[in-house]
Amino acid sequence: MPPASSAAPGTDTAIGPGAGAGLTPNIPQRPGCGALVVHSSATATTAELTGLNRADGTPLRTKLDKDVRPQIVGVYTDLDRARLGDARLHAEIDSRFSSSPSALKLAAMAGAALCTLIALVCLYFIDAADGRRRRRFLPARWWRITLTDAVVLLVLGVWHVIGANTSDDGYILTMARVSRFAGYTANYYRWYGVAEAPFGWPYELLAQMTRLTDASLWMRAPALLAAVLCWWVISREVLPRLGSRVRTSSAARWTAALVFLAMWLPYNNGLRPEPFIALGALLTWCSIERAIATRRLLPAAVAVLIAAFSLAAGPSGLICLAALFAGSRRVLAILVTQVRAESGRALGHLARIAPVLTAGTLVLTVVFADQTFASVMEATRVRKLVGPNLSWPDEPTRWISLLSLTPDGSLARRFGVLAMLLCLAVCLAVVLRKGGRIPDTARGPVARVLGIAVMSLLLMAFTPTKWTHHFGVYAGLAAALAAVTAVAVGGNGIRVRYLRSLFAAAVLFLVAFCFTGSNGWWYVSGYGVRWPDRAPLLGGIGISTMIFALGGLCLLVAAWQYYREPYRENASAARPFDRIAIRSLTVAAAALVLFEVGTMAFAAWSQYPAYSVALSNLRALQGHPCAMADDVLVEDKPEDSLLVPYTGTPADGLAADNSGFTANGVGDLAPEGAGPGGGSGGGQRPTPPPGGGPADKPKADPGINGSTVALPYGLDPKRTPVLGSYTTAQPQPAHLTTQWYRMDLAAAQRDSTYHVLVLTVAGHIAGNDDGHSIDGAQLRLEFARHTDDGTIQPLGDLTPPNVGGAPGWRNLPIALDRIPAGTTLIRLVARADDPTGKQWLALTPPRLPHLSTLDSVVGHDTPVLTDFHVGLAFPCQHPLDHRDGVAQLPTWRILPDKLNSQVSETWQGDSGGGPLGWSTLLLKSQPVPSYLDHDWTRDWGELQRLTPYNDAPTAPVDVRVENRWGWTDDSPIKAASDPTQTH
């Protein structure tokens, strides 16, 4: 495999003549020895010394009858070229997924589509043979705009601009962007780059959209369109079919709209396929209902067609099967009735069943459009083998995640799902209490909706992954259940007052439980949002506690009504509390939607002018689509920005008054604990110390002040002194006051490339983090100015900000506007008094760096390894391409924040078949200091410069094009289960 690429598992290798003398120098030369030849394939690996035989006359050959193919990223040796002779290597690269359909296959797919269309037309004429009048496809009410429609459209439009995205948007966008060069849509970050098939046709749509622009607003337009269509179908098709009371009730309509929004906003504002599946589930159910209502089979065939494409969009499309099964008995009765009307001929059954089956199998032309049957089967095998691949008993994993304090279990995500379950429970209770139907509703459609809800929850257990993202497919179903519940509670379904009060209490308890979760959102979507990692508070009291108290009050009212009920002589008019109890779900859904939109809008306002999702999208509308790349500011050459001491040499600048600080006083830099700035946790492999690399390993050559400690961020030890308080002896109190360093604040503020003063430190530093004090050594900066008479006039001091990541190397940025006006001198004062020696401190001289945007430093053409969290936030950077099994060598890597980078390190690692499995073998990384503009201490992520361990020429790659039948198989990809994946 060429050094600039990775070998897919399945590569055969061979080293030909000449290798014997070069690669086995310790073997004595024997007459007749020609070469050492090694051949490795999926079935066996052999090594032979040609020209030599054993005593029995057989060739001198060793063979292993198992798959031991190596991962090849390049071929290297310490031997000089003269000793290698004519050694060579030939590798067959696994490029099975780089395929395109032949003319015969294209003709077959076109024929399948045409035949399906003809079959459906024929089915239409069979339906029309009964002589009944054809109904209008889209009734006139479809185009009337109501106040509810306007509110839903307004909220969806606002959320499209300011709302949070999903954690997989960068993942999917990178897949779509790279597919143009690769020739197929690969799972870019895992599973050895296998094709995203049989599930994933929405990604092909996104791949075509990237031809225009990669901006978030544009790429998420299909999700917005799906949301509008979902609401249109709910309000125009679903609600009218649930009964006259549901159709005419404004309460039912508003409840459906608000629950739909509460479910849609936190789940479906990204690039994942759930919006398409949610729409497909609604259209499948509506088509089945139209088939039953009109006694026609064509709508049933359309339902099968929609369900098949929904299932091909993602595994959670299984819920569409519930809609098909719920109406299957009535549809079968229609088929039997039609055939009996034609004297029951067997051909009549076939003429009606065949078009339905044809509609369901048309999706295969999409599934296998650019892949063969064999390649899809191999991709499926690899995904199942590597994992995660969970079975139905593991379904509780999804619900446990929903109840966590992570963004997976945020209060916004909890409400929609739990509200749907509450509505389902209430409707089932009313059905059982009222003899099988809910008063004032259509019995058949409502029964089928309830059946679909129950079956969907069961079918979801059979998806191979258990992410909470999949709950987004329930958006339309939740709205329908909410509308029926509003009628059941507010009409004749529940007429007893205390039962209505119990319903209101249940809603309040549900909301209270939701507010025990955090208001967390993924990655950059959570910037500036209140309570991102804890339950919301007001005045130090949990909002959940307040709502729970209201729920308890409702229970007391219900108890009073229960005991008062036998003594009521006649029913009185509805009281204000009764009217509120009836509408409690509507009010709760409205409150949650306002909370989500309000907190996100407040976050954008409070962040300004710093980066936020809203600001990024508004800039994109103005023609600046590069998002976060315009807000991350990068130091190009940190060592050139070191401040110079006012007196003395740079080597002595740190030690004007020093007791206990030494040039090698740097302790262990390994992260401690879990979470931001901590260790790995969760069984994941630990990430490198902040600043990159093992800085605690000494260098061979002493630096400018005699230190042998390796410095971070590319700082040159010949120009950068370092002092630290760590000692292996008995800890003693240590203090340090540096020389005064020159810094003309006024001149720096006139230069637009100066933004911050930077301290590079390690160890534990005392400070404050969101109201919580942090123990550690004391560090502060003192500012002064040099007067005309030669004296130094103090101007003030400050404590540098806390940025997390202790005890590793990290940069502490101090915005220039925090420094007292007139400053021309600064110095550092440090004190470490911890008797245990654990609260040590190390530092380097302050820097005043020139900063440039990441977009200008990295550019748009240089290949970049973007971790999957960051893809949507950096749409202008060029992700490394791959084609024919050969990948580009990246020059940069962009990582997310520390917590998310732990996830990407594992997901993209070697055990999962990700790009880190080969890139770390070829490239060494050097973190580049970077900061988020106007939000200087934000842990936005990290930019790394990647350089090869060895400069080697690129091996020549010869591409051979073959025509194959779709069932022609290649050697299996060498893959193994990833032990780090649990769900």
Q: Look at residue 184 and tell me if it is in a domain.
A: no
Verify that 332 and 370 share a domain, yes or no. Answer: yes
Query: Taking Cα atoms as reference points, which of 769, 778, 762, 763 lies closest to residue 802?
Result: 769
Secondary structure in 3-state letters for 901-953:
HHHHHHHCCHHHCCCHHHHHHHEEEEEECEEECCCCCCCCCEEEEEEECCCCC
Verify that 712 and 861 share a domain, yes or no. Answer: no
Verify that 835 and 858 share a domain, yes or no. Answer: no
Segment 522-554, tens digit of pLDDT: 999 999 999 998 999 998 899 999 999 999 999
> Given a cut of 90, is residue 496 above it in pLDDT?
no
739: domain CATH number is 2.60.120.940
Task: Choose the final residue of a domain: 28, 60, 92.
Answer: 92
Q: How many CA atoms lie within 13 A of 400 on its CB side?
A: 7
- Residue 274 is predicted with a pLDDT of 95
Verify that 158 and 236 share a domain, yes or no. Answer: yes
Domain that holds residue 396: 103-164+220-592
Task: Choose the final residue of a domain: 808, 827, 849.
Answer: 849
Cβ(768)–Cβ(774) below 8 Å: yes
What is Dmax (Cα atoms) for the chain?
118
Q: Is the dihedral of CA 599, 601, 604, 608 positive or negative?
A: negative
Segment 636-685, tens digit of pLDDT: 888 889 999 988 888 888 888 888 899 999 998 887 643 333 333 333 34
Separation between Cα atoms, residue 775 and residue 421, nearest integer Å: 46
Residue type, 466: K
Verify that 718 and 820 share a domain, yes or no. Answer: yes
Verify that 86 and 111 share a domain, yes or no. Answer: no
Separation between Cα atoms, residue 932 and residue 941, nearest integer Å: 9
- Residue 435 region, left (φ>0) first, then alpha (ψ -120 to 50), else beta? left
- Chain mean pLDDT for the chain: 87
Q: Residue 893 pairs with which residues in a beta bridge?
A: 865, 944
Q: Look at residue 956 and tell me if it is in a domain.
A: no
Separation between Cα atoms, residue 895 and residue 877, nearest integer Å: 13
> How sure is the predictor about 597, in pLDDT bands with cuts at 50, 70 and 90?
very high
> Given a cut of 50, is residue 6 above it in pLDDT?
no
Verify that 753 and 835 share a domain, yes or no. Answer: yes
Verify that 845 and 869 share a domain, yes or no. Answer: no
Q: Look at residue 600 and tell me if it is in a domain.
A: no
Q: Look at residue 641 and tell me if it is in a domain.
A: yes
Separation between Cα atoms, residue 745 and residue 749, nearest integer Å: 6
Query: Taking Cα atoms as reference points, which of 135, 129, 134 lies closest to residue 348?
Result: 129
> Given a cut of 80, is residue 570 above it in pLDDT?
no
Separation between Cα atoms, residue 661 and residue 763, nearest integer Å: 13
Cβ atoms within 10 Å of 953's Cβ, excluding its own:
8
Q: Look at residue 80 and tell me if it is in a domain.
A: yes
pTM for the whole structure: 0.89
For 585-603, b where at least 16 C-beta lie within 10 A, e where not — what string?
bbbbbbbbbebbbebbbeb
Q: Look at residue 623 and tell me if it is in a domain.
A: no
Percentage of residues of the chain with pLDDT beyond 90: 58
> Given a cut of 50, is residue 826 above it in pLDDT?
yes
Verify that 575 and 705 share a domain, yes or no. Answer: no
Separation between Cα atoms, residue 907 and residue 586, nearest integer Å: 41
Cβ atoms within 10 Å of 561's Cβ, excluding its own:
20
Verify that 770 and 656 share a domain, yes or no. Answer: yes
Q: Look at residue 3 and tell me if it is in a domain.
A: no
Residue type, 210: T
Separation between Cα atoms, residue 894 and residue 940, nearest integer Å: 10
Verify that 731 and 868 share a domain, yes or no. Answer: no
Q: Is the dihedral of CA 254, 257, 258, 260 positive or negative?
A: positive
Query: Regarding beta strands 882-883 and 930-932, do their DSSP bridges make them parallel or antiparallel, or are they unpaired?
Result: unpaired
Verify that 747 and 888 share a domain, yes or no. Answer: no
Task: Choose the final residue of a domain: 48, 69, 92.
Answer: 92
- Residue 771 is predicted with a pLDDT of 67
Number of domains in the chain: 4
Residue type, 220: R
Q: Any residues with CB less than 8 A from the CB of 588 and at least 6 apart, and which?
A: 415, 419, 507, 508, 510, 511
Q: Look at residue 209 and tell me if it is in a domain.
A: no
Segment 733-766, tens digit of pLDDT: 899 999 999 999 999 999 999 999 999 999 999 8
> Given a cut of 80, is residue 27 above it in pLDDT?
no
928: domain CATH number is 3.40.190.160
